Amino acid sequence: MKEILINAFDMNCMGHLSPGLWAHPRDRSHTYKDLSYWLNLAKTLERGKFDALFIADVLGVYDVYGGDVNAALQQGVQVPVNDPLLAVPAMAAVTQHLSFGLTGTLSYEPPYTFARRISTLDHLTGGRLAWNIVTGYLNSAAKGSGLEGQGSHDDRYEVAEEYMEVVYKLWEGSWADDAVVVDKERRLFAHPEKVRKVEHHGRYYQVDAIHLAEPSPQRTPILYQAGASKRGVEFAAKHAECVFIFGPSKKVVGTTVKNIRQRAAANGRDPSKILIFMVLTAIPAPTDAEAHAKHQDYLKYISYDGALALFSGWTGIDFSTYNPNDPISYVQSDAIQSMVEGFTIADSSKVWTVQEVANFIGIGGIGPVLIGSPERIADELIGWVEDTGVDGFNLAYALSPESFEDFVDLVVPELQRRGVYKKEYRDGTLREKLYGKGVTRLNNDHPGTHFRYAPLAKVAP
């Protein structure tokens, strides 16, 4: 049995993926705007040997449900939402090993400035950084950024392909490894001849500049991608080192895992090096009975409108026009196509009603909920790995920080006892922690390596 990898899944807002549960007396997610929330969370996760804190983000608001933002505001559905990047250096300062996965929407920021921000964070965290590549899915984000609306689903991925080429050129090819010398005696900081301009003249981006940051510990951060549509899987198979997926059943998740690995192989990459994480929520307690009692308590706080405001935003379908008992069916949209596919096309053995989807999303959003004693939760986590081929989990919360604290105190020791979870962190950058000591750079079969700095060929006299 391979070692299970676990990230905590949070967002710089309240409630995140459990709409309505922020109203529970023990939930503290509404203190997301206080730095102490993030510092305490980081310390808890490091105590539990979590691999990373994976921070979600959206630009825009969930205004598809009912055609306005009212439900999202009333129910606190991922709005207000603060910048996911700014708390990271502070969390890095109070931890030694915990890494940080940041969601960055490439559609609304030039690659030149974004690449510098990521390099800065990779420096400040000592190489403990990952970037979750997203193209966005909310029309409100495009309108807030000065556009009439977002491009079509597949067109956004075409833009993303060129965006990746630009950031690879900046991160990998602008500075030589030995460009920076900091020679005080010679008063030489860097060799000018070992720093090159990136000259990119493409369809969507024009860059004529050197990368502003010197090479960071990883150069290119660990790359996550969360696309599960046909086009999203193709993008992930080409670029991602880690893939974040969802699914309401093992059948859906297993099919997605198989598809990603097949497409990675078709792109000339080692499919075993693609680490796949699925989202789920765990509700542990010392006994099964106590865990189910806790779950029943949580259920009282689910917001039907909040859940459907999320689902409408994810799918681009206004579910306020449906009755609770109406079955959902596949409708193509320019939002997250795989989201509705997961409840329709991907698993035809079940027909989901709107009410069932709202109940499913109510705790933990788009992943399954595991309820029980530490032994039962450990059994189920191991079962998901063995039955689907995932490498680990993005652990969402019902209540924060309660869900994370319970998992650290109850489930982690049981996983460690079974030998499927680390007892100590590996040293080094995030890439080294995931792939082994000395592996600080992109694997040689990754397309980003094509843009690495190489000495100029000497011209014969």
pLDDT band, very low/low/confident/very high, at 66 (cuts 50, 70, 90) = very high
Residue 211 lies in a domain: yes
DSSP letters of 376-405? HHHHHHHHHHHHH---EEEEE-SSTTHHHH
Q: Is the pLDDT confidence value at 456 over 60?
A: yes
Give the pair of three-digit tokens for residue 189: 């900081």
* Structure token pair of residue 298: 């949580």
The predicted model gives 234-254 an average pLDDT of 93
- Give the pLDDT score at 244: 94
pTM of the model: 0.93
Q: Which of 190-194, 270-274, 352-356 has the lowest mean pLDDT?
A: 352-356
Mind listing the pLDDT tens digit for each residue in 201-213? 999 999 999 999 9
Start-to-end CA distance of the chain, whole Å, equals 60
Q: Is the pLDDT of residue 96 over 70?
A: yes
Question: Cα dist. 255→5, 248, 252, 459 in Å?
Answer: 20, 12, 5, 52
Tokens of 440: 């600080």
Summarize the confidence of residues 73-92 as an average pLDDT: 96
The pLDDT of residue 342:
57
State the pLDDT at residue 147. Answer: 79
pLDDT of residue 107: 87
pLDDT digits (tens, 9 = 90+) for 105-152: 888 899 999 999 999 999 999 999 999 999 887 888 878 888 777 878
Inform me whether the pLDDT recorded for 348 exceeds 80. Answer: no
What is the rounded average pLDDT of the residues 348-360? 84
The answer to the question of residue 297 being in a domain is yes
What pLDDT was estimated at residue 62?
A: 93
> For the segment 288-330, what is each residue's pLDDT rounded down to a tens digit?
999 999 999 999 999 999 999 999 998 889 999 999 999 887 5
pLDDT value, residue 345: 46
Establish if 336 belongs to a structural domain: no
Q: What pLDDT, on a 0 to 100 scale, did the predictor assign at position 343?
A: 61
pLDDT band at residue 22 using 50, 70 and 90 as cut-offs: very high
Q: How many domains does the chain have?
A: 1
In this predicted structure, what is the pLDDT of residue 208? 98
Cα 316 versus chain centre, distance = 20
Would the pLDDT of 220 be above 60? yes
In 447-459, which positions are buried (b, 16+ CB within 10 angstroms) versus exposed (e)?
bbeebbbeeeeee
| Helix (H) / strand (E) containing 114 | helix 111-124
Query: CA angle, 216 as apex, 423 and 267 as ends, to 5°?
Result: 80
Q: Does residue 261 surpass a pLDDT of 60?
A: yes
Torsion angle defined by CA atoms of residues 172, 175, 179 and 181, in that order, rounded to the nearest 10 degrees: -90
**Has residue 196 been placed in a domain?**
yes
Q: Is residue 457 very low, low, confident or very high in pLDDT (cuts 50, 70, 90)?
A: low
Average pLDDT over residues 174-187: 97
Of 4, 2, 1, the closest CA to residue 411 belongs to 4
Quick one: pLDDT at residue 10?
98
Asked if the model's pLDDT at residue 461 lies above 60, the reply is no
pLDDT at 226: 86
437: number of CA atoms within 13 Å, CB side?
Answer: 3
Whether residue 103 contacts residue 88, with contact meaning beta carbons closer than 8 Å, is answered with: no
Contacts 24+ apart (CB under 8 A), 417-421: 418/378, 418/382, 419/1, 420/1, 420/2, 420/3, 420/4, 420/378, 420/382, 421/3, 421/4, 421/6, 421/49
Give the structural domain span for 18: 5-304+366-451
Share of the chain above pLDDT 90, in %: 80
Q: Tell me, what CATH number does 21's domain have?
A: 3.20.20.30
Residue 266's CB: how many other CB atoms inside 10 A?
12
- Domain-located, residue 206: yes
Q: Is 420 exposed, middle or buried (0-12, 13-18, 19+ CB in 10 A)?
A: middle
> Among 101-110, 164-173, 335-344, which range has the highest average pLDDT?
164-173
In a domain, 72, yes or no: yes
Mean pLDDT, all residues of the chain = 93
Length of the chain as a residue count: 461
Rg (CA), the chain: 22
Least confident of 131-145, 249-263, 288-302, 364-378: 131-145
- Whether residue 333 is predicted with pLDDT greater than 70 in this model: the reply is no
Which strand (E) or helix (H) includes residue 334?
none
Looking at residue 331, its pLDDT comes to 55
Answer yes or no: is pLDDT of 459 > 90: no
